[in-house]
Amino acid sequence: MPKCLKASRENKCNGCELCVLESQRQIGKVGLEETLIRVFRKSSKSSEYPQYKLEIDPRMNSLDIKKIKDICPQEVFDIEEE
Ligand code: SF4
């Protein structure tokens, strides 16, 4: 079964973008162009802390997603079977 990366605990994301940097490293790109994962800050006036939303391109699943899962300090990701 193919594995896929799921942002199961997106609400814990602190916006550090380490997952973005790791995915860029794996595809040999520098900077934030054409990233396979994107981190957006949600505009929320009701919350004291910033909230983030993650967008994961399905092509991400061809990378070493375990490394991406493991690099996240907030344990946002799970690896699931598709
Ligand atoms: S590494 Fe984790 S905490 Fe950092 S931006 Fe990515 S999902 Fe959020």
Distance, CA of 7 to CA of 69 (rounded, Å) = 9
Q: What is the mean pLDDT of residues 36-47?
A: 83
User: What span, in angstroms and rounded, lies between the C-alpha atoms of 63 and 22?
Assistant: 10
Nearest atom (ligand 1) to Cα of 7: 7
Our answer on whether the CB atom of 10 is closer than 6 Å to any ligand 1 atom is no
Q: Give the residue whose CA is nearest to atom 2 of ligand 1.
A: 72
Q: Is 21 in the pocket of ligand 1 (CB under 6 A)?
A: no
Q: How many CA atoms lie within 13 A of 5 on its CB side?
A: 27
**Complete DSSP assignment for 21-33:** HHHHHHTT--SST
Q: Collapsing DSSP states into helix, strand and coil, what is residue 59?
A: helix
More confident residue, 32 or 74: 74
Asked if residue 48 has pLDDT above 80, the reply is: no
Q: How far is the CA of 3 from the centre of ligand 1 (A)?
A: 19
